[in-house]
Amino acid sequence: MRDEERQSIEWACTRLINLYTLLNDANDWEAVASLYTPDGSMARPSAPDKPIVGREAILAAFLGRPARAARHVVSNIVVDVQSETEASAYSVLTLFQGQDNPDGGLPIRDPKGPLVGYYKDRLVRTDEGWRFAERIGGLDFAP
């Protein structure tokens, strides 16, 4: 594989990870779920041993969550390209959470501080573009 092709795949996978983060914070659950393969799986950082399998189940899990204000900061993204259609990635996660402000202003940040963790991803190229085949989160510090 030429360097240009590898770099193009790395960029596309990094963009997928960043897009997921932005859509998640926007509560656009249908768009978030569409970033998984139909049989993809997801395990939240707070429940790494409880995978949710299948795009429809992932969407249902997001739709079933209580509303919250959140800002995910994903950094230190490293993508390893295995082939033209497969890659893996690791990234670091910082999650700030909060509640709606009664006066309608900015949400009030949870005083317990941010959660710090990671994502381990298995990514595949599909007819829809790069998608998550598997996304496993974990925490680095107890909440």
pTM (2 decimals)?
Answer: 0.93
Residue 122: which of 105, 106, 135 has the closest Cα? 135
Tell me which residue range forms the domain holding 18: 3-139
Q: Which residue has the higher pLDDT, 104 or 136?
A: 136
Model pLDDT for residues 105-123, shown as the tens digit of each residue: 898 898 888 999 999 999 9
Average pLDDT, the chain: 95
Displacement of CA 36 from its chain's centroid (Å): 10
Q: Are 131 and 138 in contact (CB under 8 A)?
A: no
Domain count, the chain: 1
The domain that contains 76 carries what CATH number?
Answer: 3.10.450.50
pLDDT band at 102 (very low <50, low <70, confident <90, very high): confident
Q: Are 22 and 35 in contact (CB under 8 A)?
A: no
pLDDT at 44: 94
Strand partners, 23: none
Q: Which residue has the higher pLDDT, 124 or 68?
A: 124
